[in-house]
Amino acid sequence: MRKVRADLHLHTCLSPCADDLMQATTIIEQAKQIGLDMIGICDHNSGENVRALMKAGERQGLAVIPGVEVTSREEVHILGLFSTEQDLMNLQDIIYENLPGQNDEEAFGPQLVIDEYDNVVDQNSRLLIGATTLTLEQIIDAIHQFAGLAIASHVDRQRFSLIGQLGFIPYGLMLDAVEVSNPSSAGQAYGYPVVTSSDAHFLEDVGKNSTCFMVEDVSLQEISKALRCELGRMVVSN
């Protein structure tokens, strides 16, 4: 078993609100430099840059977890983290079917799809900054349908968070964990396992906040076990 430092919530240049320098090689380089062993890529309502990041991660020696940050119709942000890119693409199909609107680049920013060498290969035209018509519960169910982990984003913030939007965590919600942005919130009793992530939109914020796991290897299965404290795996202090 070893200690793995992970920042499971990073955006790329696909998110209109993220910096254009959030590219494949730049993010991986920055993450390695700062000492992360594992990162999660979670753009708003799309997983189209995950492949580029996974390939760059493989080349440069860093584990990349495919993920997405879905916006519910209550405007709550939920992270879905998956074992494979295919599982993520299956969820993305459901998101796209339920995501109305077109992006206005002037208003919200560009949505760049890149390859593993940071070349821009496409622009996503959907309104990724918008909300899906899916309920919180439907999103969590869909994430689980494709064997993913469902984590409520930045619950210690007001904007777009489960607690900010809905006042409290609905009883019986099938979350695998909640995420906090501020490490000092991590000790709070949310009733769910807690991870700490940066939610970085700029390179300098990559790894600013992270979670340490005691696990066998850098896989989603191991993270999942650690969240449930199974077989000696656990979340440990930084």
Partner 1 sequence: MKLTELIQKLNLSVRSAKMQLDREVTGGYASDLLSDVLAHGEEGNLWITLQIHQNIVGVASMKDLAGIILVNNREPEPETLEKAEAEGLPIMVTEMPTFELVGKLYSLGIVGTK
Q: How far apart are CA 236 and CA 238, in angstroms?
A: 7
Q: Please name the residue that has the structure tokens 């990041």.
A: 53
Range 62-81, binding partner 1 (CB under 8 A):
74
Can residue 184 be called a binding residue for partner 1 (CB under 8 A)? no
Q: Which two tokens stand for residue 221?
A: 């299965």
Instruction: Yes or no: say if 72 and 35 are a contact pair by the CB < 8 Å rule.
Output: no
| Least distance CB 172 / partner 1 (angstroms) | 11
Question: Segment contacting partner 1 (CB under 8 A): 77-85, 87-95, 163-171, 200-208?
Answer: 163-171
Please choose, from the candidates 177, 149, 184, 147, the residue with its C-alpha nearest in 3D space to the C-alpha of residue 162: 177
| Least distance CB 171 / partner 1 (angstroms) | 8
- Residue from 34, 166, 214, 234 that binds partner 1 (CB under 8 A)? 166
Assign 179 to helix, strand or coil.
strand
Interface characters, 25-64, with partner 1 (x: CB under 8 A): ----------------------------------------
Q: Which two tokens stand for residue 90?
A: 């299956």
Q: Which two tokens stand for residue 236?
A: 């440990």
Can residue 172 be called a binding residue for partner 1 (CB under 8 A)? no
Which residues are near partner 1 by CB under 8 A?
A: 74, 135-136, 158, 163-168, 170
